């Protein structure tokens, strides 16, 4: 029996070490020499609206809004580059995550199923030397649908011919419930119950997968 195991990326394989608002604030401070709650909220809201609508270039659109607000329109591309750099630096691979993925990759087809902008999500994998462990990498901006839309789960099935499909994710509604509705086995990895995430947490996941 062939099993395809997909991982969510942000919040599951990768953990953010600081709130996203702080990442935005540090980006604005570094590039503009100033930040404020209003500018952070503008960036966050603009990005979210653009991202959820699957409109092109949500990072650039958000930074253009901020740059226009402070009359620094020419800074928008540099703000995008700085934001992505800060986002990369604020992510880490929790203890045990790499070992689990490597273990599963020796037994199953292992992929990523992530909401995100394709280039940024792929860059995160490369930054943490994870890109060789996952195939395929399914990102919502490539598919044209975010989880929990069933279309992204169908794209994963189309990408891998398997007898069974599993998703491991931290979002119960968007990952677990949606995956089960799409015919996947699903495992909820609730990071809020694990501070910090330990190797044994991922060992428990491996043991669970052995029973699927």
Q: In the prediction, which pLDDT does 49 show?
A: 98
Q: Say yes or no to pLDDT of 205 above 90.
A: no
Q: In the prediction, which pLDDT does 199 show?
A: 42
Q: In the prediction, which pLDDT does 156 show?
A: 98
Q: Say yes or no to pLDDT of 63 above 90.
A: yes
pLDDT-wise least confident of 27-31, 62-66, 166-170, 208-212: 208-212
Q: Say yes or no to pLDDT of 17 above 90.
A: yes
Q: In the prediction, which pLDDT does 98 show?
A: 87
Mean pLDDT, rounded, for 118-141: 97
**8 Å CB contact between 184 and 152:** no
Please choose, from the candidates 14, 54, 3, 51, the residue with its C-alpha nearest in 3D space to the C-alpha of residue 167: 3
> What are the helix (H) ranges across 16-172?
20-32, 37-52, 58-69, 76-89, 97-105, 118-127, 140-143, 150-159
Burial class, 157, CB count within 10 angstroms (exposed 0-12 / middle 13-18 / buried 19+): middle
Q: What is the pTM of this model?
A: 0.89
Mean pLDDT, rounded, for 158-163: 96
| Bigger pLDDT: 96 vs 43 | 43
SS3 of residue 174 by DSSP:
helix
Tell me the CATH number for domain 3-16+92-210.
3.40.50.1000
**8 Å CB contact between 47 and 76:** no
Q: How many residues in total does the chain contain? A: 212
**Spatial distance between the Cα atoms of 117 and 132, rounded to a whole number of angstroms:** 19
- Which helix or strand (DSSP H or E) is residue 202 part of? helix 199-210
Q: How confident is the model at residue 9 (pLDDT cuts 50, 70, 90)?
A: very high
- CB neighbourhood size of 55 (10 A): 10
Tell me the domain boundaries of the chain. 3-16+92-210, 20-89
Mean pLDDT, rounded, for 51-67: 98
Phi-psi map region of 16: left, alpha, beta (phi>0 left; psi -120 to 50 alpha): beta
**Spatial distance between the Cα atoms of 189 and 205, rounded to a whole number of angstroms:** 8
Output the average pLDDT for the chain: 91
Q: How confident is the model at residue 210 (pLDDT cuts 50, 70, 90)?
A: low
**8 Å CB contact between 9 and 114:** yes
Q: Say yes or no to pLDDT of 201 above 80.
A: no
């Amino acid at each position: 029996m062939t099993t395809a195991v997909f991982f969510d990326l942000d919040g599951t394989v990768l953990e953010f070490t600081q709130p996203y608002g702080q990442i935005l604030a540090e980006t604005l401070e570094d590039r503009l020499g100033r930040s404020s709650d209003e500018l952070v909220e503008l960036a966050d809201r603009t990005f979210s609206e653009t991202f959820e609508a699957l409109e092109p270039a949500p990072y650039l659109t958000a930074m253009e809004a901020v740059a226009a607000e402070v009359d620094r329109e020419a800074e928008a591309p540099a703000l995008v580059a700085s934001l992505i750099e800060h986002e990369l630096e604020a992510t880490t691979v929790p203890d045990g995550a790499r070992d689990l993925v490597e273990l599963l990759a020796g037994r199953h087809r292992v992929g990523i199923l992530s909401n995100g902008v394709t280039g940024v999500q792929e860059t995160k994998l490369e930054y943490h030397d994870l890109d060789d462990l996952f195939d395929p990498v399914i990102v919502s901006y490539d598919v044209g649908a975010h989880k929990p839309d069933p279309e992204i789960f169908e794209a994963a099935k189309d990408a891998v011919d398997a007898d069974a499909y599993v998703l491991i994710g931290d979002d119960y509604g968007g990952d677990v419930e949606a995956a089960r509705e799409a015919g996947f086995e699903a495992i909820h990895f609730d990071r809020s119950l694990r501070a910090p995430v330990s190797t044994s947490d991922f060992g428990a996941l491996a043991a669970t997968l052995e029973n699927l």
